[in-house]
């Protein structure tokens, strides 16, 4: 039977072209998505090892219990604390991470490198993730190193004089080195400016000596070193062994690639599923065309099991051959995908293509199994051919449709319509849609017959060809329906994703906009919102009010959080801030209105411990819990100015809400950007920014999913 199957494939090669193309296309897409995703995962996880490979102890923010990661972002480690870490026996060296936004002023007085990250240069070579490509490391005040990508783009070289714009103003600097991160040009997405340590404190933190995180290397056991360092870390931070820290980082960055792989291969599997219809239909046609051949085999003694086995072997051979060719095509398709993404400005991490044996084997196995399962029904049908069929000149076909199939289709369609029209929850509506589509697929032969009758009068006007077309469509309605179902599923999914995705986007964006009332929010990363800047903003045509407020990173009952204050209750007047329990009118010295994201168990009447970055603590009574909103999330917890002063000192405002005249938001945004263009520490966020971002994400996902689903439509067209 295997020999017979191989001869069957060889002598029917032209008939199997559609099947081969369906398998090849689906497997190529499946394997290509795996190759691309494996490259991304390996590159991201490899970056972790390159960046943190020599870290034995990491002192980082403890976000295990944080209710909002934003609250933890601005907690810092005082430089004095790091000296305690370095005094631990067995610790050989340490390096602190300190970053902040910078830009560079060119000789023509225009800025470039907007969004560039200013980064403290770590003197210890083993802890520094950057390597020098040219020149030397910054070793004195006024010296910087530029990443290779920015240097090439802006035509900078060692010895050039530039001006760095930072939170503390303009700083003349000399480029003494060009850096790279592994095989990539920059450690940070928009470029890296490495700054001498003393300058980094001045330029990025206004002279305050502090770090975002701190890494240590030692000669002892990392677990014992971590245990010795743990009691010395400030509130809101935790000490981890280097291996634990790297594992966490790999989990975070690798998750992006893993989700990408699962999502892409889900659509690739859909293309294979649609291809299964093509394979099934092709084999059904082949069985019909070879009916006399199979009847002769039966007449000379082949049993039904042998005929069935022979056709399954044919499917196995075609499946293996198509899957192997699909993997080869997928490898070539990977280069096309990467080139297409690069053309649209999307660069994937890493270089080259990772061809993992597991991915190759999985692609071949999946393609082969789908082919094998798709030939089961045609093979079983072929086994029932009687020897007498060898004497027939043509296949006897019938246009009839079984009553059982018709009843089943009617029941499924009716239940689907009732679910979609009468359902009040997503599940019944979704289930109704699924039943309705299933009913249409089951009713395919009946639809083919009815469609043929309806179209016959129209197509008959085209002559004999038109009448033959309609009659042939109804002659074997199951075959016609199977051919159409592959296309039906693909087009249905494309339409469903477009309509449902757009509706969901509009709903989500509308709900998000209800959570915001301030037109703009400006924040300073390391700087302040000084009175001069406030006056400039208030002078803008269209700006009605600017409300600065003071913002400080603290811990609340040991968990990272934010603390805010403003004079005369101005925050409540301009922003969407209200109390879900308690009252903001009860806010007095020694009390606090806590965020909706406060730690579990905090409620009106309870007492919380608030600790600032210097370690000073205060016990405050909770008089209100804020209603959840985007504006409330930006301010965190609210106290009176005197309470704020007693805890963190008389500091300057670092954020502000801006209220603009209705209808003038767009022009106002441009004017605000012009005012803060020389302040790289200032970030301007429009009041509907989150809604716009979410809308853009939905648009991207809808377009991406539609593009991927069109692959299944292509496979269906190949089958037709």
Q: Is the pLDDT of residue 216 over 90?
A: yes
Low-confidence winner among 118-122, 239-243, 529-533, 568-572 (lowest mean pLDDT):
568-572
3-state secondary structure of 408: helix
Q: Which of 319, 327, 328, 361 is nearest to 20 (CA)?
A: 319
b/e string for 685-698 if b means 16 or more Cβ within 10 A? bbbbebbeebbeeb
pLDDT digits (tens, 9 = 90+) for 108-139: 666 666 678 899 999 888 898 888 889 999 99
Mean of the pLDDT values across residues 533-548?
A: 86
> Range with the lowest mean pLDDT among 365-374, 375-384, 510-519, 584-593?
510-519
Confidence band, pLDDT 50/70/90 cuts, at residue 200: very high
Longest Cα–Cα distance of the chain, Å, equals 104
Q: What is the mean pLDDT of the chain?
A: 79
Question: What does the pLDDT look like over 667-697, one tens digit per residue?
Answer: 788 888 888 877 777 888 776 655 666 666 6
pLDDT of 479 over the 80 cut: no
Phi, psi of 318 (to 5 degrees): -65, -40
- Answer whether residue 646 shows pLDDT above 70: yes
Residue 557: its pLDDT value, please? Answer: 85
256-260 long-range contacts (CB < 8 A, ≥24 apart) are 256/40, 256/44, 257/37, 257/38, 257/40, 257/41, 257/44, 258/37, 258/41, 260/37, 260/40
Instruction: Give me the pLDDT at residue 67, please.
Output: 45
What are 298-337's pLDDT values in tens digits? 777 777 787 778 778 878 888 888 889 989 988 888 887 7
Place of tokens 């299944």: 712
Whole-angstrom Cα distance, residue 194 to residue 143? 9
- Whether 532 shows a pLDDT value over 60: the answer reads yes
Per-residue pLDDT, 68 = 44
What pLDDT band is residue 383 in, cutting at 50, 70 and 90?
confident
Cα dihedral 558, 562, 566, 570 in deg (nearest 10)? -120
Residues 6+ apart with CB under 8 A from 238: 59, 60, 61, 62, 64, 230
Q: What pLDDT does residue 179 have?
A: 92
> Who wins on pLDDT, 472 or 283?
472
Rounded to an integer, the average pLDDT of 77-84 is 90
Distance, in Å, from the CA atom of 438 to the CA atom of 444, rounded to the nearest integer, reads 10
pLDDT for residue 66? 47
């Amino acid at each position: 039977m295997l020999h017979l199957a191989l001869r069957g494939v060889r002598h029917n090669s032209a008939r199997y072209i559609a099947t081969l193309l369906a398998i090849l296309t689906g497997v190529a897409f499946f394997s290509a998505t795996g190759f691309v995703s494996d490259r991304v995962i390996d590159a991201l996880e490899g970056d972790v090892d390159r960046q943190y490979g020599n870290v034995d102890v990491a002192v980082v923010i403890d976000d295990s219990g944080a209710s909002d990661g934003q609250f933890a972002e601005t907690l810092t480690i005082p430089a004095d604390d790091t000296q305690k870490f370095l005094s631990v026996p067995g610790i050989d060296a340490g390096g602190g991470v300190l970053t902040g936004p910078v830009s560079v002023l060119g000789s023509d007085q225009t800025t470039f490198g907007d969004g560039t990250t200013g980064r403290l240069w770590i003197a210890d070579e083993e802890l520094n993730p950057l390597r020098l490509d040219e020149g030397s490391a910054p070793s004195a005040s006024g010296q910087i190193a530029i990443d290779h990508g920015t240097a090439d783009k802006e035509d900078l070289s060692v010895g050039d004089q530039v001006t760095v714009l930072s939170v503390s103003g303009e700083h003349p600097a000399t480029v003494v080195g060009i850096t790279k991160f592994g095989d990539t040009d920059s450690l940070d997405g928009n470029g890296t400016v490495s700054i001498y340590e003393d300058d980094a404190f001045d330029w990025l933190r206004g002279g305050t000596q502090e770090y975002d995180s701190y890494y240590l290397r030692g000669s002892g056991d990392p677990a014992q070193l971590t245990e010795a360092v743990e009691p010395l870390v400030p509130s809101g931070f935790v000490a981890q062994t280097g291996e634990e820290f790297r594992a966490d980082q790999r989990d975070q960055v690798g998750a992006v690639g893993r989700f990408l792989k699962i999502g892409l291969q889900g659509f690739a599997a859909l293309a294979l599923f649609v291809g299964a219809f093509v394979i099934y239909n092709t084999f059904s046609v082949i069985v019909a065309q070879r009916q006399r051949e199979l009847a002769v085999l039966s007449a000379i003694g082949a049993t039904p099991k042998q005929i069935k086995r022979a056709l399954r072997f044919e499917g196995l051979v075609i499946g293996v051959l198509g899957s192997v060719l699909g993997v080869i095509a997928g490898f070539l398709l990977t280069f096309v995908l990467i080139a297409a993404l690069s053309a649209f400005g999307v660069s994937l991490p890493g270089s080259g293509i990772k061809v993992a044996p597991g991915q190759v084997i999985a692609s071949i196995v999946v393609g082969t199994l789908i082919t094998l399962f798709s030939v089961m029904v045609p093979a079983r049908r072929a086994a029932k051919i009687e020897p007498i069929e060898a004497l027939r000149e043509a296949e006897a076909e019938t246009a009839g449709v079984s009553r059982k199939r018709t009843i089943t289709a009617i029941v499924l369609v009716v239940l689907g319509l009732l679910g979609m029209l009468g359902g009040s929850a997503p599940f019944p509506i979704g289930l109704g849609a699924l039943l309705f589509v299933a009913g249409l697929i089951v009713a395919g032969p009946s639809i083919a017959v009815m469609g043929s009758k309806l179209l016959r009068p129209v197509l008959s006007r085209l002559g004999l060809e038109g009448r033959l077309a309609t009659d042939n469509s109804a002659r074997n309605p199951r075959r016609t329906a199977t051919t159409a179902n592959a296309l039906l599923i693909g087009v249905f999914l494309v339409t469903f994703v477009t309509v449902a995705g757009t509706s969901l986007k509009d709903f989500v964006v509308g709900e998000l906009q209800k959570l915001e009332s301030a037109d703009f929010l400006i924040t300073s990363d390391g700087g302040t919102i000084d009175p001069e800047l406030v006056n400039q903003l208030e002078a803008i045509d269209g700006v009605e009010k600017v409300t600065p407020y003071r913002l400080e990173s603290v811990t609340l009952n040991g968990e990272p959080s934010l603390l805010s204050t403003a004079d005369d209750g101005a925050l409540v007047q301009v922003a969407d801030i209200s109390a879900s329990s308690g009252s903001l009118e009860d806010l007095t010295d020694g009390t606090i209105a806590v965020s909706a994201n406060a730690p579990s168990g905090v409620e009106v009447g309870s007492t919380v411990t608030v600790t600032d970055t210097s370690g000073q603590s205060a016990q405050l009574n909770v008089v209100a819990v804020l209603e959840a909103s985007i504006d409330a999330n930006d301010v965190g917890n609210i106290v009176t100015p005197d309470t704020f002063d007693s805890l963190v000192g008389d500091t300057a405002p670092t954020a502000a809400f801006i209220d603009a005249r209705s209808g003038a938001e767009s022009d106002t945004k441009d004017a605000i950007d012009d005012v803060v263009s020389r302040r790289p520490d200032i970030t301007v966020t429009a009041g509907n920014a989150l809604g716009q971002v979410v809308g853009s994400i939905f648009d991207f996902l809808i377009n991406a999913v539609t593009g991927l689903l069109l692959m299944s439509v292509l496979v269906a067209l190949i089958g037709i």
